[in-house]
Structure 1
Amino acid sequence: MTQPEIIVIGGGIAGTSAAAHLAEHADVLLLEAEPHLGYHSTGRSAAIFIRNYGNEVLRALNAASAPVLQSGAGISDTGLLSPRGELLIASEEDIPELESYAREATGLEHLRPDQAVELVPILRKERIAAAILEPDAQDIDVDRMLQGYVRLLRSRGGKTVTGSRVRGLSRNKGVWQVTTEEGDYSASLIVNAGGAWADQIGELAGAHSVGLTPMRRSAVLLDAPKDYDIEHWPLFASVTESWYAKPDAGKLLVSPADEDPTHPHDAWPDDMVLAEGLYRYEQAVTVPVTRPSHSWAGLRSFTPDRTPVVGFDPAQEGFFWLAGQGGYGVQTAPALAALCAALCRGRAPELNTATVEALSPARFARG
């Protein structure tokens, strides 16, 4: 293999999309530790685009990503989104939180309890004091999105190597040396898209930690409630994020919306966490919880300010951070990939200056 100009570490949706953008103007190698791309968080995503999800910076990224997700531009012949909607319900004590969410959001519809039950007939009307609907929330075809970026990367001459976990990083005379379990590589620029492992990769490179905390998020699949057609139900959830549920291929995906801090690993669900979350969900609906047909967990990695970290490390030349996407990685990937490519090429980003600065790793530099 010829020496690439850029090595992207991490083959989730963040690293793969960034590599595809970078390959338009550079020789790119994408390294993934697992046997296939998208193994961890990308393959375990709730797969929904919610324009109002996240803080102000994330909402700007959502808006910038929307045109690509809607059209499939460059990665799919058709759009990657399909109608779903998001319904948030609140009890009397949760109304302040619902109002706070609504103040910072756009495109919402306020619903009465009976209107919420019309959308999701299994909800307990007596437990709903207020509700809001985001009609524009849409399902994302995550696998088609990931594979589209892989095809784009390869069509531009980029290469991928899987099953190659990075064990060492060092820089000598302007060139990074990358030691992996399967071989050694070198490049002038490293993009750290390591997900839950991004801080460990940064440590190998001698970069300053950005304070990433991997947090477990669990989910189960339940049989659809008997005598109900759930296909067109919106994602429905407590506004306090104590649980959410979403139709998924004829079944109902239910999550306790857990955020348990942990370490980087191949995550699995905790039975007690699942049981507690399913109990909270069951209190909100009129049907009993059936035995789950499948359960799983993934890791969502957050920085201390719950905003991604994207940009060149302030201390280590040629080391670029693309991490900390939390639960927003899939829906923000198009915008962050374009930003990564622009900054790595020294071009002006399409995002506004305030957003770019809010994403910079310089905000975590000590001193």
Structure 2
Amino acid sequence: MGKDSGTTRRDNLLLQCIDPFTRHLIGVERHQLYTRILQPSIANLLGWCGERRDFLALLGSPGIAYSALIFTLSFLYCALRKYFCKGLSIAGTFAISTSMVTQWTNTHWGHPDSLTFLPISILLLKRNYFFIVFCTFIGSFNDERFILSIPFLLLWWHLTDQKEGQKLNLYKSIFAFGIGILILFLFKFALINGYIGPGIEKEHSLFISLLNDYFLPIVLNPSKWPQFIFLIFLGFRWLWILPLVALTICVRHKKIIIFYSLLIPILLSSLVIAINADIGRSISFCYPLIPVSMLIIKDIGKWSNEKLIYFLNFILMFNILTPAAKVFYVPPNWWKTNPLEWSSPALPLPLNLWRWLTSPNGAQTWIK
């Protein structure tokens, strides 16, 4: 059961699986969780509910999130395969799998981020206006940070349409995203006001709390900017080299519109996620910037398949060899402090599962 480990995010999630409209969650995030009922509703529908170590509960969490993650990477590979050779598609998918796109879902069972990553991956592969509306609603319903992916999806469609000799209808695409967000707003309004479910009691604004605790102290304090950049780096780690190379190629080839279409969303997304404590996790919702960067390097930079595969595998090697970690803050004298005191290693999934099976309380990573 994981005795003495206290109430965790996964415990709240398991309560929601039994009753998606429960109003008996614990913790400061409970009001946010009351409106995020996608994964609990799926588990409830399938009957995958129970307590921490029950088999059915494991199917509900992390089973649903793990399944969504598998489909995310599968759709991502198919999307890459439409425009890259097999070797590049495999390397690109593997590269993204070494980032926070998988690491957070694999180790934090109370955070089914993959249910948002999956709609993003579907839109990378297949685009029509119904899909855009549906995926925007589903992805944002699970986690509002789906919105961070929108500029990169638009740029991906623009680049792939150019490659196919077509022209992206930007206004219709943005309108479809807007409809999806409007449906989300109306659905959450109905949840909060009791038109769906029992309603949600209003308390202090979590947004104001996050603004005062995280956003303003970072933005208004230049001494914290290096720490913030480091936390952003942890989202993709060495894969950040790809967008840097892509931006450089855009400048050299005078593709100024594409340059700003990539740079500005990266900067704005980084600024927006400063409102969260889990910055490395939040930037991972922008993961379409990786295939976008690959496409820019290959098509605008005129790199051969062999050169790009070699370059990508070289970066991938560093992502595999250097440790990944979840970090919420960096102490001032970090070089004098045991890193395990301020960082949590992102263990490989088999090792994390082994720790959970062998520990009486469960590994600390899975219960959060």
TM bin (shorter chain): under 0.3
Q: Could you state the TM-score of these two structures normalised by the residue count of structure 2?
A: 0.23
Task: Name the structure where strand makes up a greater proportion of residues.
Answer: 1
- What TM-score, normalized by structure 1, do the two folds share? 0.23
Higher helix share: 2
